[in-house]
Amino acid sequence: MVTLLSLLSSSMSEALIQRIKELEGELEKLKSQLKERSEAGADMEVKSCPSPNENSGCTTNNNTTTSTTTTSSSSSKKGKKAGKERPFDFSAHPRRHVALRLAYLGWAYQGFAVQENTDNTVEARLFEALLKTRLIQDRQSSNYHRCGRTDKGVSAFSQVITIDLRSTQFCEGLGVTLPENVDVFAKTKAAASELPYVKMLNRVLPQDIRILDWAPAAEGFSARFDCQSRTYRYYFPRGSLDVALMADAAKRYEGTHDFRNLCKMDVGNGVLQFMRTILSASVKPVQPEHISSTDQYDLFIFEIKGLAFLYHQVRCMMAVLLLIGQKLETPDIINQLLDVQNNPRKPQYSMAVDYPLVLYECNFEGLDWKLETEEVNHVLSALQQHWTQSAVKSHVLHGMIQGLEAVGGVSSNHCWLIEGSKQRNYRPLLERPCCESLESRIDHFVKRGRLEREEGENGGEMVHRGKRSKHSHNSSSLPVVLAASTKSTDKGAD
């Protein structure tokens, strides 16, 4: 038995050794073939190099062949990267003057307009998107105008801007400017579809800022100066307010008045005229069927339509209406505040809070808005998602309130829509300390160099922005000379 196992073991060892020798022979052949191919490749690389000085990576040994291959691959990658970084040639594309209509929820932003002390503004996000999509080269050359600048926390459903955007329209069209030295063939070729401005911008904008539609506009058309009217809405719950009294008082705002007592006087920025025209002002329920209801949770709207508005004007007007709704003031207080001859200085009072205010509509004539159904549906879907979350949260809170009222809790009659803390003893507006007069504010900014005085016609005074005004750099594009008498109210429009 032992002898048989020894014989088998000896036989297997010899076979295994023989197989190993065969494999070693094959390996040597493969090495030889690989070496021949490698040397042939190196010879070809040497021939392809004009001289050693032109490419130090071209040598004949195997190690430097690897180096050459790596260098070539690296150069290829650098070439691609350099291509990406090549500046976009805006001069090769037409430009088109357009109007863009946008909606945004302003609660998370420090206002619409760009500011020096923060980049958390709607306008900053908008220009980031315009630059990222290469629709503009820079803001300075974009011919940009905005219809209005909403405050911190204020939203908009129909803000409008005008701007020059990159276009595909070589065959010209409304608002199109062709690049210089464009060839005749480019002018005569078939019209291409315009760039999908709404889709391009909405893909890179935050979810709470949406472009709704766009319209081609004539070269001189301005969102600021060609707006026919602006409509604001301020939402508020009935609570314990007398909404019928507020509706009657709101009508007193209509007409052309001096609103210096119902705004923040922005004298330092050259705003010296406070005459504004209000076309309509009303207080109405959000749901018309609630007109006869007495539920304190019914929502109402203060809607006001005017040609133009002053800084914080709508929130000051709403604050006075809320005082009237609480019966702390009578509707006649509006007439008294509008009488700047007898009340030339604004009483000190707090504004209404910011978040219920919406720039609801900006009205223009002659614009043909291009609606993209797919984008409208995207925006609608996003708004429905926001609404669902907010509606559910509000009803969760309402349920908790009802639960506490059911066990004997008593709801407060406090109005939560006025800034600041509630006064323990209410002091009527006309008995309060007053802010500085317009004349005093002008004197203050003249001394600081923000405004300058000069003698006008007929011995009157002209006041205009000074050299040190932070907005003086706009003088080349905006009318900055503003006539203002420091003796009486100027009746001119802004």
Residues carrying an active site annotation: 151
Alpha-carbon distance of 281 to 257, in angstroms, equals 14
Q: What are the b/e assignments for 337-359, b being 16+ CB within 10 Å?
A: bbebeebebbbebebbbbebbbb
Token pair 């993209």 in the structure block, residue: 372
What are 1's two structure tokens? 């038995």
First to last CA, the chain: 121
Distance (Å, whole) CA 323 – CA 245: 11
d(CA 316, CA 351): 5
Alpha helix segments (H runs only) across 49-181? 62-85, 122-132
Cα four-point dihedral sign 486, 311, 284, 230: positive
Residue type, 441: R
Q: Cα separation of 342 and 339, whole Å?
A: 6
The token pair at 100 is: 């863009």
115: which DSSP letter? Answer: -
**Which of 479, 477, 433, 493 is CA-nearest to residue 139?**
477
β-pairing, 155-166 with 145-146? antiparallel
How far apart CA 170 and CA 94 sit, in angstroms, is 6
Question: Rounded to an integer, what distance in angstroms lies between the CA atom of residue 294 and that of residue 430?
Answer: 32
Kindly state the tokens that stand for 81: 């990267």
Matching residue, tokens 């908790």: 400
Whether 444 and 430 have beta carbons less than 8 Å apart is answered as no
Q: How many angstroms separate the CA atoms of 253 and 71, rounded? A: 76
Joined tokens for residue 197: 């401005």
- 326-330 long-range contacts, CB within 8 A, separation 24+: 326/240, 326/241, 326/242, 326/415, 327/242, 327/245, 328/426, 328/428, 329/428, 329/429
The answer to whether the CB of 198 falls within 8 A of the CB of 214 is: yes
